A and B are shown apart, each in its own frame.
Chain A
């Protein structure tokens, strides 16, 4: 087999990883600081919500691309179906907040299990194209089932139920800031969960598969099994993000399940930095904020996204996080040198 086909996406993400591992507490604190400061810094709480929701989806994508080396164009399937499932359950069954979110995560996870089980039967470019074909199929299925999904118009009037336990309402989430609180708590939990997963033996195995699948298999790991599990985890997280997005917008558009959504999530992942959890937050934040600021000034701002994607792949494969890392290293080196000179 052509070695090119099996070489996983890695690039310069290794140094970012190494430092990230050395100082996990520092990046976790930085993440917490960002999550707390976000609604104060960005123009609106709604925008802050959007950033964290996409950061969640990027976290899911990163688990596949950054930690397992799988480039999946299928993320829109999980994001879109999470949105539809939560919205439908709330509209038709009047389920509460947590049930809706759980159902969305379960739907995303199950679909990802299916997509993963099918797609990982092939590697390299065939794997990528299978995920692409499955996204197109999901799009046309959602489009065809317009009685359920609203087709081109999407699902309107998606509710945002209050935070309630046993019929007792704790918080009303109608205000954007209150909803931000919920999204922030969920994001922090998922972030910490992802950390645990990556630092576990399971996570190390995923990294081993990313670095060299043949060797991981030779050591005795059932790599298929691990890749499918990574898919299921990624799908559940992405499905949850999709459900929150539908609640935020009170709307579940068909575009949630389209190929461009997969592309957008992928681009956020790469620009933020593959193989870094903090990079996920950075990537989603940068692109959502840029989109918000620039789309008013220049509707064609996506052009810059294309340029940025090319630039990152060509010159800065660690993404923004990798860039910050090397900047930090350079400054640390300069400081050490200054100390030695003194």
Chain B
């Protein structure tokens, strides 16, 4: 009996790490650029599909783990330079509408390229087995997922806290004008941050592909979850995204065995309560 809960908690941690990777990009982009990206879920979707294609063509999951986020990031970079950059100064309403249009385009193009029916991605051969600990058995891939995402999280933290780039991003979140006046090319910083944030969504898409496959209607659902995590954690907060992502993942996973239909309902209710009681999130600042 206890094993069932342990199983669900580990599942929840894996799910939570995926949620963290999606949301941290969203939160990074909002924090630095004050930009609301409604296309974030669509980029996740693209990551999953690119993983599917790479695995189908080459049979190599590891290659897709490298290529898909790079491709998604590159696309985001191009989009930023051509379109997104023109709407930073507009009110959030217009940003939402433009990115909603982008999400619609990505979703339809995905259906054109990969068909309306979802695709499943095989678990990489190296990780097909299970890990045994006494009576407890757990799939290897899911453990790898937790470990790998944790490594990415640490790397991202180091990038944000220990490098010049990170310092600029953090300073830019406080005041873009000051950073710009100090001689940094703020536009390049914006482009790179946008591409990085979106690439993380793509990476989350790749990691979730062997578990959930790729399905053209995943976008809106993932976007909803990403907003839940960002709002609960606090807009623009790295630690908030991590804590809230894990929390939402574990709660959703435990609920799935207690009250399956209610598990999705719960997280949106939680988000509504947090916005009403603590508008800046659990870890956010006013």
Interfacial residues, chain A to chain B (CB-CB below 8 A): 2, 4-5, 7-9, 11, 71, 118, 121-122, 124-126, 128-130, 132-134, 136-137, 140-141, 143-144, 259-260, 263, 266-267, 270, 300, 302-303, 305-310, 313-314, 317
Whether A306 contacts B103 by the Cβ 8 Å rule is yes
Interface set, chain B 162-221, CB cutoff 8 A to A: 220
Whether B231 contacts A4 by the Cβ 8 Å rule is no
Known: A121-B276, A134-B268, A259-B220. A313 touches B94 (CB 8 A): yes
Which residues from chain B contact A141 at a C-beta distance below 8 Å? 265
User: Which residue of the partner chain, among A125, A143, A270, contacts B97 with CB atoms under 8 Å?
Assistant: A270
Whether B105 contacts A4 by the Cβ 8 Å rule is no
> How many residue pairs, one in A and one in B, have C-beta atoms under 8 Å apart?
120
Give the residue among A71, A137, A306, A309 with the most B Cβ atoms within 10 A.
A306
Whether A71 contacts B96 by the Cβ 8 Å rule is yes
CB distance from A134 to the nearest CB of B (A): 7
Interface set, chain B 263-280, CB cutoff 8 A to A: 264-265, 268-269, 271-272, 275-276, 279
Which residues from chain A contact B147 at a C-beta distance below 8 Å? none
CB distance from B274 to the nearest CB of A (A): 10
Which residues from chain A contact B101 at a C-beta distance below 8 Å? 305-310, 313
Main secondary structure of the interface of B (DSSP, over half): helix
List 5 A-B pairs, Cβ < 8 Å. Answer: A5-B92, A133-B228, A143-B261, A306-B108, A317-B94
CB distance from A10 to the nearest CB of B (A): 9
Judge if B104 is at the interface, Cβ distance under 8 Å: yes
Which residues from chain A contact B224 at a C-beta distance below 8 Å? 132-133, 136, 259
Chain B window 222-233, contacts with chain A (Cβ cutoff 8 Å), 1 for yes, 0 for no? 001001100100
User: Which residue of the partner chain, among B112, B272, B276, contacts A300 with CB atoms under 8 Å?
Assistant: B112
CB distance from B240 to the nearest CB of A (A): 15
Whether B98 contacts A126 by the Cβ 8 Å rule is no
Whether B265 contacts A125 by the Cβ 8 Å rule is no
Bound-state Cα–Cα, A305 to B231, Å: 29
CB distance from A228 to the nearest CB of B (A): 15
Main secondary structure of the interface of A (DSSP, over half): helix
CB distance from A62 to the nearest CB of B (A): 14
Whether A122 contacts B275 by the Cβ 8 Å rule is yes
Bound-state Cα–Cα, A129 to B90, Å: 18
Give the residue among A125, A136, A302 with the most B Cβ atoms within 10 A.
A136
Judge if B140 is at the interface, Cβ distance under 8 Å: no
CB distance from A121 to the nearest CB of B (A): 6
User: Which residue of the partner chain, among A7, A259, A266, A314, contacts B98 with CB atoms under 8 Å?
Assistant: A314
Bound-state Cα–Cα, A7 to B89, Å: 11
Bound-state Cα–Cα, A64 to B168, Å: 39
Whether B112 contacts A260 by the Cβ 8 Å rule is no
- Besides A266-B100, A310-B101, 10 new A-B residue pairs in contact (Cβ under 8 A), listed by A number: A71-B96, A126-B231, A133-B272, A136-B264, A300-B109, A306-B102, A306-B103, A306-B108, A307-B101, A310-B83
Whether A303 contacts B261 by the Cβ 8 Å rule is no
Which residue of the partner chain A has the closest CB to B224? A136
Bound-state Cα–Cα, A11 to B105, Å: 24
